[in-house]
């Protein structure tokens, strides 16, 4: 989980790209600052996967339709494919690589394993990031509320019943 | 995606000054509509002016109503206690839209300005007068199951996809803007336009005109949103309906009705509204209003199903708003506003 102490960072309010459309962009990911030179058109998803080799965040559709690219931005779930990297500067980004604490799995990850909440596993990072964004510090949700809150995460293998069971268990933990 | 200059706005005035003089420049807020279309090469801005850091994220009291900053997220607005309590039609419309992740990024200024989901508009290989003026309309003779019943033209039969916009039209919300010619206030029903011969123009905003806030006028009645989709959640409306009802004892004092998914803009229903005034709510009355509402519908080859669907939806929305029938879920939630099944009707496994 994100360490709030690392979140403050200078944001150049009047930042503008040079004629080649490149910009200096510092991304704060899983508590660590990554200074990059990026073209303005680079999506956060591509910066994570191509520039930083954090390939746990998945590209399913690249158009906001599958939830595979879900990360946390300032603690809320967000789609990395519909976010420009440069617009994420100064924000605390958490990816699936930052969900476990060292060797200790996040309770939701452990519950996914217990409930066999995946088949191919491609949607799993997105499912975990989507649910973990609201799992802690909230009153438990009903199965129906969980399904509605998770409707932005598609699973082609249809592991839905197991995903729901895992989340139901993890929110009680 | 085509390359573009990126610039972070430091103030609303500076944002307007950066966009107004450059025809290819645009604002970007949450980016969930604009970036999607940029990836499809449908939008090719020369410059993006990032308004996401501007201080437009407040919800404040205003002459009996509420002022919603244009940068407030759909999530924050839907969860706001005063919106939930006084304008459930707004939170219901927001919460039936998109997904948790998209609502977290989407803004109240950007949502009504999202472009149509017409598949021909989104595909640069197809003719589309909205994307490439003069190229023709592939939807007219194509698959037009999702297209307009009202106010369309020979040039364009697209619909406006926003749920929020339908609720705002029914509440007669007011759009506050600042632009190259200074500030102005636009009644929400006048924000969007019909396609006519220039479907490339969605709204009455000038180039470089920035929405700063949306005002919800004082409202003491009941309001409600109902949406029908192809699947239980995370889908655009086939038809949707917003109702704002004010009563004098047992009789309707004022009714405002708007349909979504049927026109190039949220479609207000003046004939049906007039029919309700002074009357006592009943299913018979609501059926008559629904008949009046769809009297001038002009279906295309594949969308005539929207007429009975829309009529029944309007009756249902009126029955629920007036209290003659119970809501399908708690007021202000997606569960109240989803028709034909909703996420969660699937039986829990264990
Ligand atoms: C898979 C998917 C499903 C969706 N489902 C739904 C749904 O069911 N219902 C629904 O209503 N929506 C739905 N949406 C659309 C989504 O809600 C909108 O994309 C979002 O609300 C747009 O807000 P934004 O802040 O991201 O706008 P942006 O993408 O940043 O901007 C959209 C447009 O508005 C302009 N703009 C933004 N802010 C301002 C401002 N303050 N002043 C002037 N111009 C401005 C931009 O220049 C741009 O042209 C869906 C989107 C996706 C990707
Ligand atoms: S890759 Fe982002 S939602 Fe599918
Ligand atoms: S486990 Fe295969 S897509 Fe979900």
How is residue A51 annotated by DSSP? I
Q: Which of A53, A48, A70 is nearest to A126 (CA)?
A: A70
CB B86 within 8 A of CB B219: yes
Chain A residue closest in CA terms to B73: A76
> How distant is the Cα of A105 from the closest Cα of chain B, in angstroms?
23
- Residues in chain A with CB shorter than 8 Å from the CB of B122 are none
pLDDT over 80 at B48, yes or no: yes
- Write down which residue in A68, A98, A128 finishes a domain: A98
Q: Which of B244, B182, B181, B173 is nearest to B213 (CA)?
A: B173
pLDDT in tens, A32-61: 999 999 999 999 999 999 999 999 999 999
pLDDT in tens, B177-222: 999 999 999 999 999 999 999 999 999 999 999 999 999 999 999 9
Q: Does the Cβ of A79 fall within 6 Å of ligand 2?
A: yes
Q: What are phi and psi of B135, to 5 degrees?
A: -85, -15
Residue of B71, B73, B102, B119 to mutate, ligand 1, most atoms within 8 A of C-beta: B102
Provide the CATH number for the domain around residue A45.
Answer: 3.10.20.30
pTM confidence score? 0.96
pLDDT over 50 at B126, yes or no: yes
How is residue B44 annotated by DSSP? -
Q: Which of A122, A130, A123 is nearest to A167 (CA)?
A: A130
Q: Does the Cβ of A65 fall within 6 Å of ligand 2?
A: yes
CA distances from A163 to A139, A143, A146, B197 (A): 19, 11, 10, 50
ipTM for the predicted complex: 0.95
CA distances from A69 to A101, B76, B123 (A): 21, 22, 23
pLDDT grade for B342, boundaries at 50, 70 and 90: low
Same domain, A14 and A48: yes
Average pLDDT, chain B: 96
Cα B167 to its chain centre, rounded Å, is 7
For chain B, what is the domain count?
1
Same domain, A149 and A111: yes
Ligand that lies nearest to the alpha carbon of residue B47, given by its number in the listed order: 1
Distance CA B259, CA B268 (A): 6
Same domain, A119 and A70: no
pLDDT over 50 at B280, yes or no: yes
Q: Provide the token pair at A75.
A: 């603690």
Inside any domain, residue B50 = no
Q: What are phi and psi of B282, to 5 degrees?
A: -160, 160
Query: What pLDDT shows up at residue B282?
Result: 98
Query: What pLDDT shows up at residue B343?
Result: 45
- Write down which residue in A98, A121, A142 finishes a domain: A98
For chain A, what is the domain count?
2
Q: Provide the token pair at B147.
A: 């297209």
Query: What pLDDT shows up at residue A10?
Result: 57
Inside any domain, residue B293 = yes
Same domain, A112 and A88: no
* Of A147-161, B268-282, B332-346, the least confident: B332-346
Inside any domain, residue B169 = no
| DSSP strands (E only) in B34-168 | 47-50, 59-62, 65-69
pLDDT over 90 at B341, yes or no: no
Domain that holds residue A117: 107-170
| DSSP strands (E only) in chain B | 5-8, 25-28, 47-50, 59-62, 65-69, 174-179, 182-187, 210-216, 222-228, 239-248, 251-260, 267-268, 338-339
pLDDT over 80 at A98, yes or no: yes
Closest CA to ligand 1's atom 45? B110
Same domain, A74 and A159: no
CB B98 within 8 A of CB B237: no
Query: What pLDDT shows up at residue A18?
Result: 76
Domain that holds residue B245: 222-331
pLDDT over 80 at A12, yes or no: no
Atom of ligand 3 nearest to the CA of A120: 2
List the single best residue of B99, B123, B337 to mutate versus A (max A Cβ within 10 A): B99
pLDDT over 50 at A2, yes or no: no
CA distances from B14 to B17, B180, B209 (A): 5, 11, 12
Percent of chain A having pLDDT more than 90? 83
CB B203 within 8 A of CB B210: no
Provide the CATH number for the domain around residue B301.
Answer: 3.30.390.50
Same domain, A10 and A87: yes
Q: Which of B272, B257, B202 is nearest to B226 (CA)?
A: B257
């Amino acid at each position: 989980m994100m360490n709030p102490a690392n979140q403050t960072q200078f944001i150049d309010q009047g930042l503008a790209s040079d004629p080649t459309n490149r910009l200096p962009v510092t991304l704060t990911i899983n508590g660590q600052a990554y200074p990059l030179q990026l073209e303005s058109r680079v999506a956060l998803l591509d910066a994570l996967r191509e520039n930083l080799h954090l390939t746990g965040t998945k590209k399913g559709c690249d158009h906001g339709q599958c939830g595979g690219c879900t990360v946390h931005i300032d603690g809320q779930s967000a789609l990395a494919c519909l976010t420009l990297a440069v617009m994420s500067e100064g924000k605390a980004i958490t990816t699936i690589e930052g969900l476990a604490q060292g060797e200790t799995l996040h309770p939701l990850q452990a519950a996914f394993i217990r409930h066999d909440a995946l088949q191919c596993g491609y949607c799993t990072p997105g499912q975990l990031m989507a649910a973990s964004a609201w799992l802690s510090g909230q009153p438990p949700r009903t199965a129906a509320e969980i399904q509605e809150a998770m409707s932005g995460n598609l699973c082609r293998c249809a592991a839905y019943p197991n995903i729901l069971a895992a989340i139901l268990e993890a929110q009680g933990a | 995606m085509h390359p573009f200059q990126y610039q972070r706005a430091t103030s609303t005035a500076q944002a307007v000054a950066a966009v107004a003089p450059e025809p290819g420049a645009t604002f970007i807020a949450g980016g969930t509509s604009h970036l999607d279309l940029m990836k499809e090469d449908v939008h090719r801005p020369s410059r993006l002016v990032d308004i996401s850091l501007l201080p437009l994220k407040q919800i404040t009291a205003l002459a009996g109503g509420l002022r919603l900053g244009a940068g407030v997220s759909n999530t924050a607005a839907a969860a706001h206690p005063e919106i939930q309590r006084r304008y459930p039609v707004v939170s219901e419309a927001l919460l039936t839209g998109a997904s948790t992740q998209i609502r977290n990024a989407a803004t109240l200024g950007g949502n009504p300005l999202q472009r149509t989901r017409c598949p021909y508009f989104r595909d640069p290989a197809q003719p589309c007068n909205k994307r490439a003026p003069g190229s023709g309309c592939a939807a007219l003779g194509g698959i037009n199951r999702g297209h307009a019943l009202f106010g369309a033209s020979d040039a364009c039969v697209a619909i406006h996809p926003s749920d929020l916009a339908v609720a705002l039209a029914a509440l007669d919300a007011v759009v506050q803007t600042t632009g190259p010619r200074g500030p102005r206030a636009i009644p929400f029903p006048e924000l969007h336009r019909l396609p006519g011969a220039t479907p490339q123009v969605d709204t009455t905003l000038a180039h470089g005109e920035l929405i700063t806030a949306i005002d919800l006028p004082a409202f003491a009645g009941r309001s409600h949103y109902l949406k029908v989709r192809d699947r239980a959640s995370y889908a655009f409306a086939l038809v949707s309906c917003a109702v704002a009802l004010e009563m004098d004892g047992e009789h309707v004092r004022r009714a405002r009705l708007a349909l979504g998914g049927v026109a190039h803009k949220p479609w207000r229903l003046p004939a049906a509204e007039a029919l309700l005034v002074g009357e006592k709510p009943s299913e018979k009355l609501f059926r008559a209003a629904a008949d009046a509402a769809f009297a001038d519908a002009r279906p295309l080859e594949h969308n005539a199903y929207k007429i009975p669907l829309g009529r029944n939806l309007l009756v249902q929305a009126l029955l629920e708003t007036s209290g003659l029938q119970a809501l399908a879920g708690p007021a202000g939630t997606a569960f109240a506003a989803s028709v034909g099944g909703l996420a969660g009707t699937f039986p829990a496994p264990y």
